[in-house]
Amino acid sequence: MALDIGRCKPFACSLELPGDLDIDEWRPIGTQLKKLDTRVSWWLGDGWAFGEARYRDRKARVEAEDWDGPAYQTCRNAATISRSFEASRRRDTLSYSHHAELAALEPEEADDLLDWVEETIAITGKPRSARELRGAAPAPLVGGKI
């Protein structure tokens, strides 16, 4: 995956944008950053799920003072979502949040709702929002509780 952010310069705690950046250069940067955010969430979940059987003391390692990564609960939540959606069922046209909203459902029901979310892409160029999905999902899932 190549991150194309044009003439911008990423740093650890900032993104430097040139003063003469026009709107046509600025808009795709947001798209790239959104894609990166979704990918990193999947990577975190897959990595944590991978370590589940191999590294039994993961929680202790993550809660140790020298840990410099995401919080234990963040890792655990991401792994739950990753395990709920094997790679072949993940939709790269949708956000990680879309998937998170449906992680507690049976695969067929979740896939049907993801299909519904994607229906608008052909018409508007965008999927339905995670908020719309939340309204359409079964009541126990409101708020993405898993």
Query: Same domain for 144 and 103?
Result: yes
> Could you read off the pLDDT of 33-69 as tens digits, one per residue?
888 888 999 999 999 999 887 887 888 888 888 988 8
Taking alpha carbons only, the member of 61, 127, 75, 73 closest to residue 136 is 127
Query: Same domain for 63 and 98?
Result: no
Q: Which of 36, 60, 84 is at the close of a domain?
A: 84
pTM of the model: 0.79
Q: Which of 57, 84, 111 is at the close of a domain?
A: 84
Containing structural domain, residue 79: 23-84
Within-domain flag for 52: yes
Q: What is the pLDDT of residue 95?
A: 93
pLDDT band at 117 (very low <50, low <70, confident <90, very high): very high
Query: Same domain for 97 and 122?
Result: yes
